[in-house]
Structure 1
């Protein structure tokens, strides 16, 4: 279960466009846009308050550590929605890390697609039924 989370983006506008297009089958919409001197912070929702946020890329607190890939999953109502996300991702030219399939090593009924977003993060649409 995800309450909310945020990631930094080198290009918030391009990333927002990508998320709105690829995850349209999940009902993504832009819910909040907060202007900042470095660019907008955008909150997205499917229903209720914003749960996913994009913010302008900030310098790392410790440059020696470097950047790390984030992973996050979005809930899909059923397998057909996971498949729709996959189709939208392919149409958008996204890198598909793993095409939709059942992942029994996680648990029976875990059906997901794994994608690479424009910032190098591993993102997923999953249903558990």
Structure 2
């Protein structure tokens, strides 16, 4: 089994009211970013470091989750796909004042989580991800 990681966060786990509705939303958002759900199991789904499961009557998550993009076009595709999949606009695509080149869009997912797609401007990565091979 291999894990691809990059920075501080190991994973994010969202608890949602309606797993099917959230799966449709996140599948559309991820596909707009050139990714997809990678694990679908009874009671949860995951994509990269994002895990989503039902709240089972408990509270749902309320977080701000920022997803990296390869460019401004993906920020626009994310925003359009998220709105079409039941998200609510929380900030149209555009430049932000966080640092030069910061370009983002914000959408509230079906449970009210603030989901952002961000492009940090021209940059070069040393690698697309870090590969960790688990087990003996």
TM-score class, shorter? 0.7 to 0.9
Residue 100 (structure 1) aligned with residue 107 (structure 2): no
Q: Do the aligned partners of residues 20 and 111 (structure 1) sit closer, same or farther apart at CA in structure 2, a change above 3 Å counting?
A: same
Aligned positions, number: 114
1:124 maps to 116
TM-score if structure 1 supplies the norm length?
Answer: 0.78
SS where residue 82 of structure 1 aligns? helix
- Which of 99, 105, 111 is equivalent to 1:113? 105
Render the CA deviation track for 1:21-75: whole Å, top value 9, x for unaligned.
Answer: 133121231211232xxxx11111xxxxx31110110455xxxxx7662111000
> 1:81, CA displacement in angstroms?
0.7
The root-mean-square deviation of aligned C-alpha atoms, in Å, is: 1.9
Residue 74 (structure 1) aligned with residue 72 (structure 2): no
Q: Give structure 2 stretches of 5+ with no counterpart.
A: 1-6, 122-136
Q: Give structure 1 stretches of 5+ with no counterpart.
A: 45-49, 61-65
TM-score if structure 2 supplies the norm length?
Answer: 0.74
Moved more, 13-22 or 119-128: 13-22
2:80 maps to 87
2:46 maps to 43
SS where residue 62 of structure 2 aligns? coil
